[in-house]
Amino acid sequence: MPFDLKEIASISGMPGLYKIIAPTRSGIIVESLAEKPVRSVAQSRNRVSILQEISMYTNDEEQTVPLADIFDKIREQYGSDLPVNAKSSSQELSSFMETVLPDYDRERVYSSDMKKLVQWYQTVNQFVPYSQETVSEAATEAATEVEAATETEAEPAKKKKSSAK
């Protein structure tokens, strides 16, 4: 799961997505995922839905697809340039969903769900780091450091041989 959605939540009565900061006696402290993040308290009466726990219905009645997997598929196919937005028509959203998740349940997944999916993906893609890139960059840096260390170790060995002559 490249997007870490464990601490990202949607809160009823509050627009947008939020990062969970800490629990309080009467709710949780959250920070909005926006250009200028604002901290606030989500009361215990608000319904908090953590994105990692959300999934989408498929035609197989016993199976649903986690939101993080759908976000990964969207990222693989479209990156950050989606062909639709939250104001797109229901037909455009349906065709978009068919390309991302061909076996989604057309009776139980409404256009409002697809609009939320698109909005949430755009927000998450903008404000939550994609860990696979970080892992590959770290692996590249580690490989570069190992090569540099190997070359450094090889150079003194050559010098010792040449000085022995």
Give the C-alpha separation, 130 to 108, whole Å.
29
How much is the pLDDT for 132? Answer: 59
Q: Tokens 């065709």 sit at which residue? A: 95
CB-based contact 52:67 (threshold 8 Å): yes
How much is the pLDDT for 46? Answer: 87
Q: How many CA atoms lie within 13 A of 80 on its CB side?
A: 8
Handedness of CA 115, 11, 52, 134 (dihedral sign): positive
Q: What percent of the chain has pLDDT over 70?
A: 78
Q: Is the pLDDT of residue 32 over 70?
A: yes
Give the pTM.
Answer: 0.74
Q: Residue 90's closest CA among 109, 68, 74, 63? A: 109
**Residue 130 gets which letter from DSSP?**
B
Average pLDDT, the chain: 80
12-27 residue pLDDT tens: 988 899 999 999 888 8
80-128 residue pLDDT tens: 888 988 888 999 999 999 999 999 999 999 999 999 999 999 998 888 8
110 CA to centre of own chain? 22
How much is the pLDDT for 140? Answer: 45
64 forms beta bridges with 57
